[in-house]
Chain A
Amino acid sequence: MMADFIDGPLWYFSLAVFSIGVIWRLTPLIFSKHPGDLSVPRESALAGAIRTVFSRSIPDRGSLSRVSLQIVAGYMFHLGLFAVLFFAAPHVLFLHEQWLGFGWTPLPHWAFILASQFAFLGLLMLWLHRVVNPVSRLISTTGDHVGTILTFVVMLSGCLALLQGFNELRLLHRFCVELFLIYFPFSKLMHTFTFIPSRAFTGAWFGRRGVRS
C-alpha cells in the first residue's frame, strides 16, 4: 500500500511539483524585460558573461586564507554529489530503464564510495560552518538548514540502500528524494539552475562596461 503510493502517485506528484516549480521560478528570470542599456559598450558583454561564469569558481586570492575551508568543503560536496547523482550505477540504470532509454558507463564501486564520502564530508563541514560561524549563523535561514538536512538525508538513505537487498530501504530513499523534489523549487536549492544565469548576467553587465568581475 505504502510502497505503491511512494512508487506511484507521490513520485509523479513530486516530479510535477519539481518541474512546474522550477519552470515557474526560471521563467521570470529569463523573460523579464530590462530597460535597454543605451551606452556604448566598452567590451563584449558575451565575453564578460562567459568569463564570469568560470571566474567565480576560482577563489579570490585576497580572501582565500579566510574562506579556504568553505572553498575546499564546497568543492568536495558539489563534485561528490554530481558524481554520485549522475554516475552511480543504480542511478544510471534507473535513468536508462525508466526515462532515457540509454545509459552511460557508471563509476566503479570504489569510485562511487569515494565520491559519496567526499560529498558527505563536504556537506557536513559546510553545515557545521553555517552553525558554528557567528556571521554565517546570522545570515542563515531555516530554509537553508532544511535544504541541507534534506540533501543529507537523501544521500544517507541512498547509502543505506547500497546493498540493494531490501525494498524497504529503496522506498525510504525514494521517499526522501520525493520530499527533496517537492521542497526544491521553493528554496535556495534553486541555485542549481540559477547560478549560471546569475553569474552570466552579472558578468555581461560588468563586461559591457569593461570591468572585470
Chain B
Amino acid sequence: MKNHWLCGRSSHLLLLIFVFILPLTYAMPGLSQTTASAENEGVLMKNPGAELWRNVRQRDSASVGISQVRSVDSGVLINPHADRWARFRVNYLIEYGLMTLVAIASLILLFYLARGKVRIEGGLCGKMVHRFNDYERISHWVLAIVFLFLAVTGLTLLLGRPLLIPLLGHKVFSILASASKESHNLFGPVFLVSLVMMLVAFVKRNIYARGDLTWLLKGGGMIGKTHVSGGFFNMGEKSWYWLVILVGLVISVSGLILVTPNLGQGRVVMELSHVVHVVAAIVLIGFSFGHIYLATAGTEGTGEGMKSGYVDIKWAQAHHDRWAAECHQQDLVISAEDYAKLQGKTNSTRDASSSADMQEAK
C-alpha cells in the first residue's frame, strides 16, 4: 500500500513537472533568442503607431500634406517651428527684453545721480524764441501718447506671465491681458498714422548736415565740458528722430502682419514678425527712456519747447547755437512780458488794470 502511495505520489509529481517544465523547454530557445536579438538589433516588434505619430509630429521638418481646406499652411498639420519660437519667446525675448529695459533705466538713474540735471550756464533769462508750431507739437504728443499706451499694453502682454500674474493672480491678469490685447491691436494703426504725421512735420529739419558728426564724437556735450555747436536739431535729436521713424515703421509693419492673419502670410512669417516686433519695440522703448529723461529731469529748459512751443534763448544758445544766432539775426527773440501775453499768462496784470479802472470809475 505504501509503495503504491509513493508510486502514486511520484507519478503526480512527475506529471506536474512535465506540465510546467515542458513548455519552458520549448520557450527557452525563443527567450534566449529574443534577448540576444534585443542586444544586437533592438525590439523587433515596432509600435505600429510610432511611425504615424512621428510623421504627424514632424519633428525633423514640416512636410506638407493634402487638405480639403484651401489656405496658407493648411496642409501642415503641426508646425515644428512654433515650438522653437515659443521657447525663444519665453527663454530669450521675455528674459532679455526685461533685462534690457531694467538695465537702461538703471543706467539713466546712475547717470542722473552722477551728473545731475544739466543746467544752463548762468541760468535761463526768460527771453523766448518760437521753436515748434501747433501742428508739430500736436504730432509729437499724439505719437508720444499712442506710443506710451502701446508700450504699456505691449509690455503687459509680453511680461505679464512672469511679472503680473504673481502680483494680480490669474483672473485679474486674464482680464487685463484681454483688454491690453484688444486695445493694442486697435491703437497699432493709429501709431502708424501718427508716425506719418511726425515724418511730414519734421523731416526737412532732420536731414543730416555738416557738423553733426562732431556733435556725436563729443557726446553732445555730455562728455567733457566743451561746448558743442548745433543747428535747429543736433545730431542726437536727428538720430532719435530717424530711429523713431525707421524702427517705428518696422514695428508698424510687423504689427500689421500680426494683426491681419488672414492676408496670406504663413505661420513662420507670423512668428518672425512677432520676434521682430518685440525686439524693435524693446529698442524703441529703451531709447524713449533716454528721450523722456533728457526732456524732463536731464536738461534744464528742454521740455518747454514741446509744452509751449517756445524755448529760452539761453537754452537755444547752449544746445543749438547756430540756430540761436539765426534767431538773433532775424530779430525773433521776444521778451518775457511778450511771451507771457502770448501764453495768456497776464491774469494778474489784467486783474490789476481792471481793479484800477473800477477805482477810477468810483
Q: CB within 8 Å of B: which residues of A?
A: 69, 113, 116-117, 120-121, 124-125, 128-129, 132-135, 137-138, 156, 159-163, 165-166, 168-169
Residue pair A163, B182 in contact (C-beta under 8 Å): yes
Residues on the B chain within 8 Å of A133, using CB: 134
Question: Which one of B138, B146, B179 lies within 8 Å of A169 (CB-CB)?
Answer: B179
Residue pair B142, A162 in contact (C-beta under 8 Å): no
Residues A113 and B186 in contact in the complex (CB < 8 Å), given A121-B193, A125-B142: yes
Residues on the A chain within 8 Å of B145, using CB: 124
Q: CB within 8 Å of A: which residues of B?
A: 134-135, 137-138, 141-142, 145-146, 174-175, 178-179, 181-183, 186-187, 189-190, 193-194, 308-309, 342-344
**18 additional A-B residue pairs with CB within 8 Å, beyond A117-B189, A159-B186:** A69-B134, A116-B186, A121-B190, A121-B194, A125-B138, A132-B138, A132-B141, A134-B308, A138-B344, A156-B183, A159-B183, A160-B178, A160-B179, A160-B183, A162-B182, A162-B186, A166-B175, A168-B175
Minimum CB distance partner of A113 in chain B: B186
Residue pair B344, A166 in contact (C-beta under 8 Å): no
Minimum CB distance partner of A131 in chain B: B141
Residue pair B186, A128 in contact (C-beta under 8 Å): no
Question: Which one of B142, B182, B308 lies within 8 Å of A124 (CB-CB)?
Answer: B142
Residue pair B134, A159 in contact (C-beta under 8 Å): no
Complex: A12 Cα to B137 Cα, angstroms: 42
Residues on the A chain within 8 Å of B142, using CB: 121, 124-125, 128
Complex: A117 Cα to B190 Cα, angstroms: 6
Residues on the B chain within 8 Å of A159, using CB: 182-183, 186
10 contacts between A and B (CB under 8 A): A120-B190, A125-B138, A128-B138, A132-B134, A132-B141, A132-B309, A160-B183, A163-B181, A166-B175, A169-B175
Residue pair B137, A132 in contact (C-beta under 8 Å): yes
Minimum CB distance partner of A114 in chain B: B189
Least CB distance from B189 to A in Å reads: 6
Residue pair A129, B134 in contact (C-beta under 8 Å): yes
Question: Which one of B141, B178, B190 lies within 8 Å of A163 (CB-CB)?
Answer: B178
Complex: A117 Cα to B182 Cα, angstroms: 12
Chain A facing B: main interface SS: helix
Residue pair A169, B178 in contact (C-beta under 8 Å): yes
Complex: A120 Cα to B150 Cα, angstroms: 14
Complex: A156 Cα to B190 Cα, angstroms: 14
Complex: A134 Cα to B174 Cα, angstroms: 43
Complex: A159 Cα to B237 Cα, angstroms: 35
Residues on the A chain within 8 Å of B179, using CB: 160-161, 166, 169
Residues on the B chain within 8 Å of A116, using CB: 186
Residues on the A chain within 8 Å of B344, using CB: 134-135, 137-138
Complex: A156 Cα to B308 Cα, angstroms: 28
Question: Which one of A69, A113, A135, A165 lies within 8 Å of B138 (CB-CB)?
Answer: A69
Residues A129 and B138 in contact in the complex (CB < 8 Å), given A166-B178, A169-B175: yes
Residues A69 and B135 in contact in the complex (CB < 8 Å), given A124-B142, A163-B182: yes
Question: Which one of A69, A124, A166 lies within 8 Å of B174 (CB-CB)?
Answer: A166
Minimum CB distance partner of B182 in chain A: A162
Minimum CB distance partner of A124 in chain B: B142
Residues on the A chain within 8 Å of B190, using CB: 117, 120-121
Complex: A101 Cα to B190 Cα, angstroms: 36
Residues on the A chain within 8 Å of B135, using CB: 69
Residues on the A chain within 8 Å of B308, using CB: 134
Complex: A116 Cα to B194 Cα, angstroms: 15
Least CB distance from A132 to B in Å reads: 5
Residues on the B chain within 8 Å of A121, using CB: 142, 190, 193-194
Minimum CB distance partner of A157 in chain B: B179
Residues on the B chain within 8 Å of A132, using CB: 134, 137-138, 141, 309
Residues on the A chain within 8 Å of B183, using CB: 156, 159-160
Complex: A116 Cα to B135 Cα, angstroms: 22
Q: Which of B174, B178, B189, B342 has the most CB of A within 10 A?
A: B178
Residues A120 and B175 in contact in the complex (CB < 8 Å), given A133-B134, A159-B182: no
Least CB distance from B308 to A in Å reads: 8
